[in-house]
Chain A
């Protein structure tokens, strides 16, 4: 049944490809509703598609992952990056008509980051927002482009869903989140009239819906990329944008550095890549992909079970529970790592979820095209709050190595992020983290 449906879809895509060139490609058409389906929560990382459409940041990442002005039109660094001043763009309004001011930007950022922020203090000064810190903040413009720091209108009657973005919240019903075009968006009205996001939908159901024309855009997990290509789905892929890493807390019996090092050496990354993720992963022991930093190869990825046994010594531990963020292949990865640890004489088992696990396999988005900022962002997600002030690759390598030698975060694989699109979707572009930018997408049959 599934094969039949998908084959029908594949044929329809081929037909579309045959029909479309009979006339010239045009500028994007306005109008239409795009139907997106996803497994995760579109308001939360790493699937924050809705968050990205409704809210803007002071800065935004361009196609190359470099920060450019967004709600802030100008930025100025002083005192060796200890102080940053961002001047706000004039004439921007929230979707309810409230003007964007430095005061509501400060309120939003303080709510978004109550502690361990990249800055020490933030305040409104006229039409500017000023950040100060005890440590230099060379990566602040890049960090402010993150989904975490998008500007939300605080105290709005309908909660916290009012921003300045291309789309505005229109409703949530029966698992479908509806966003409507913001006609007065400061970046211009988007081409689409609306975006419907069917949330918490299994990948299998997503593909079936795409096949019968009930969805326009669905997820393609890394381990199913080959299958998607075999079935001739129209797939957009962002390579190596998600870091799969094992987080080991420096707590309890896991505070033993030798045990953490033994765990790191026992993991068979190649098997994870080849078996679980169908050779779509890029094996790594580094936080940054080779394409971003160029020195990733300096971190050895080899498995060494004998060395792991040696490091463990005679230590006996309670059963280590290994959990994973996400389902499917992520749970299989947890099982595989438990098996790897068993082979090194370490008592471990898969936990089924990440809630009560000792070790957690995490998906960490690698954001942007700036190595220093991407490293700081990844390290912050791993719980390290110290800024990355180094800017040369040699110094970054040093900082990363020092961090990884703690063995509290074990990089495993870089995974691509991919989406399959129906025949009427046009101008689909993926952002630097692999999420689609629907503010510039359009539909073929709209006029």
Chain B
């Protein structure tokens, strides 16, 4: 006959307690349950480990159990006639589980205590600069693009624009504005958001739709009004920013730095830009996923693109040149004005197929991408990557292993 009994409280995950070791509380909870079965008397205790608890911690856990059992009136010994208590340190994919089998004659009873899983930490090596991230939003809804503006964060979803206001307790939903998307989307739709001209609103581009939203100076952030219309106009892929860096190039003067934005036509049924950009850059571009305008010593600026064929190329002085050293890049990258090193870096997503992606900063001094930072683990798949309006940070949308979407702000620290 085997039976199990354990109250709801005893099976609940045990929170860590300050000023004590990590095993004190679960050991105490398990000892209490064992004592409730054994009663006052003696027990022969054995402990085995089927979990990832380090073997050198086993003796400490055994001692804790002995002490806690003693406190409940159960003395551990090898005496005949004592109840046999076999404790197994087990675990499943979500939690640790400590199980005690208490054998008294022909009867075995089972009690157990669940506790949180072990911590895993990742470290990052340093080089020219260190990327760091701060999660600013976690949501169950897909996020295609996001923008921070003052005390609000605007998240672009496939069929709505969500505005979150920042308060003492973090971001809270303020407004959800329906886009009225009528077109069927692709499996991985994309979007762009940028500040509106006057800085009091924003503009959004989605497959087949363009939206504008504005806010008068005397209005609160809950008074947003959204106007959307069907549109196949090109999407902005680079625009002047507060960092003062020119973000475009003029086709007619090739290399002449001008503070104008650059737009590209997006294939709304797929997930890439067609290669047609406005104004032109003096050379035909292949279809591409991402683009960034980077400063160049000789030509002023150049346009960096990641083609749908996996090639990273640089459009400069009317020619298209392949960039080496970008084999580890995924499809998404964005420009970051860190002020470190050359001042401007490209932050690129990793190209692995693993469930966890990474970001890494690169500089492109000639035709070779040179790593400028260690990879930054993103704990999910990077779904979108855009420069913040001020260029000083990059916003990454990450789909994590819980199928949630995180908006992470990525900044750089100079080493």
Contact = CB atoms under 8 A, between A and B. Distances in A.
Interface of A: 21-30, 62-64, 66, 68-69, 166, 183-185, 187-191, 290-295, 297-298, 369, 371, 392-395, 397-398, 401, 426-427, 439-440, 447
Nearest to B12: A392
Interface stretch (B37-45, B92-100, B127-135): B92-100
A361 B352 CA distance: 40
Given A27-B331, A294-B95, A185 B184 contact: yes
A23 B307 CA distance: 10
Contacts of A291: 92-93
A63 B399 CA distance: 11
A183 B312 CA distance: 30
B333 to A, nearest CB: 10
A294 B97 contact: yes
A257 B324 CA distance: 72
Contacts of A69: 140
Nearest to B350: A25
B125 interface: no
A292 B92 contact: yes
Contact of A392 (B11, B309, B351): B11
Contacts of A440: 187
Q: Closest 8 interchain pairs by CB?
A: A23-B310, A25-B351, A394-B6, A294-B97, A294-B92, A188-B187, A392-B11, A62-B403
A64 B401 CA distance: 7
B268 to A, nearest CB: 11
Contacts of B328: 24
Interface in B53-91: 88, 90-91
Contacts of A297: 50, 88, 90
A26 B4 contact: no
B235 interface: no
Given A27-B331, A294-B90, A393 B308 contact: no
Contacts of B355: 63
B110 interface: yes
Contacts of A298: 99, 101, 110
B8 interface: yes
B3 interface: yes
Given A62-B402, A298-B101, A27 B11 contact: no
Given A30-B271, A398-B3, A189 B185 contact: yes
A24 B330 contact: yes
Contact of B353 (A23, A25, A66, A393): A25
Contacts of B2: 401
B4 A27 contact: no
B192 interface: no
Nearest to B92: A294
Given A294-B91, A294-B92, A398-B3, A393 B112 contact: yes
Nearest to A188: B187
Contact of A25 (B92, B110, B330): B330
Say whether chain A's binding surface is mostly helix, strand, loop, or mixed: loop
Interface string B302-326: 0000111111100000000000001
B311 to A, nearest CB: 5
B289 interface: yes
A98 B327 CA distance: 46
B114 A393 contact: yes
B107 interface: no
Given A24-B326, A295-B112, A393-B11, A30 B6 contact: no
B188 A439 contact: no
A297 B101 CA distance: 11
A294 B12 CA distance: 14
A29 B308 contact: yes
A397 B351 contact: no
B36 interface: no
Contacts of B351: 24-25
Nearest to B307: A26
Contacts of B326: 24
B186 interface: yes
Nearest to B9: A392
Nearest to B352: A25
A427 B353 contact: yes
A311 B8 CA distance: 38
Nearest to B348: A24
B172 interface: no
A401 B5 CA distance: 12
Interface in B321-355: 326-332, 351-353, 355
Interface in B244-279: 269-272
A23 B311 contact: yes
A392 B8 contact: yes
Contacts of B402: 62, 64, 66
B110 A26 contact: no
A369 B401 CA distance: 13
B127 to A, nearest CB: 21
Contacts of B99: 294-295, 298
Given A25-B353, A26-B331, A292-B93, A398 B308 contact: no
Given A21-B327, A26-B309, A185-B184, A394 B11 contact: yes
6 contacts: A63-B401, A64-B401, A292-B92, A369-B94, A393-B11, A427-B353
Contacts of A371: 92
A40 B355 CA distance: 29
Given A166-B187, A298-B101, 20 more contacts: A24-B310, A25-B310, A25-B351, A26-B331, A27-B272, A27-B332, A28-B271, A62-B402, A63-B401, A69-B140, A183-B184, A184-B184, A189-B186, A294-B90, A295-B112, A297-B90, A369-B93, A392-B11, A394-B4, A395-B4
